Copies of this chain bind each other. A is one copy, B any other.
Amino acid sequence: MSALRVLVWNEGRHEKQDEAVGRVYPNGLHGAIADGLREAGFEVRTAVLDEPEHGLTEDALAQTDVLLWWGHKAHEDVRDEIVDRVQARVLAGMGLIVLHSAHFSKIFKRLMGTTCNLKWREIGEKERVWVVNPAHPIADGLPDQFVIPHEEMYGEPFGIPEPDSLVFISWFAGGEVFRSGCCYYRGQGKVFYFRPGHETFPTYYQAEVRQVLNNAVRWAAPTNGPGVPVVHVHEPLEDVPVWRG
């Protein structure tokens, strides 16, 4: 079996415009995320918003098994026709892993059909990520919880559809909880939302977070199920008379 082909997409602006972020992620958030995935043996490329077609050409997507998406301040700069293209690819089987503030990305809101609203607070408080579905492959190799020392808080109610599987719930020192690992089937594709990963914290260097992303890529990998076309079936499969009213 050849390696899964992963594309890590990042807005890529915070790192250039905000010195503090650049210090934490000198190779960009995408660089740190890609490093973790490469260590796991995946074939990893990266792309950023400011490339032509946002780096998400038909060709690039055709060579992608699983796409990771980090965005925050420039959701509106993502062109609608590129969102259409990504959505079509997900519904045709490409895995999609939506990271942190990309809960407000066009592609995630498009696939959820809801506001994706939430509460947020930036005081660098402690987060504990608890496993609530220990049988799920995205929990593979994880302890029952792990701590992220400093993170942005996201709090419920989170304006998403009920996940098809809920894998993680986060606890925050300031008093909130959050559904942090949410699995969805959409068409022939799989979507995973993972909460942690604020740009000012070294979250994507943390071993447990990398384990989650590795597991998620494997879970979201395309499988070869039947398509979901619209079809006018003129002839019945079984012998049925046409009714003349």
Contacts and interface: CB of A to CB of B under 8 A. Distances in A.
Contacts of A117: 228-230
A205 interface: no
A127 to B, nearest CB: 11
Interface string A169-182: 11111111101000
Given A130-B177, A139-B225, A162 B156 contact: no
A64 to B, nearest CB: 16
B175 A223 contact: no
A39 B24 CA distance: 50
B188 A135 contact: yes
A187 interface: yes
Interface residues of A, number: 87
Nearest to A184: B161
Interface stretch (A51-59, A74-82, A234-242): A234-242
A41 interface: no
Nearest to A124: B243
Interface of A: 20, 87, 91, 93, 110-115, 117-121, 123-126, 128, 130-137, 139-145, 150, 153, 155-159, 161-162, 164-166, 169-177, 179, 184-190, 200, 223-238, 240-245
Given A119-B231, A135-B186, A173-B236, 5 more contacts: A119-B230, A126-B240, A157-B228, A162-B165, A174-B233
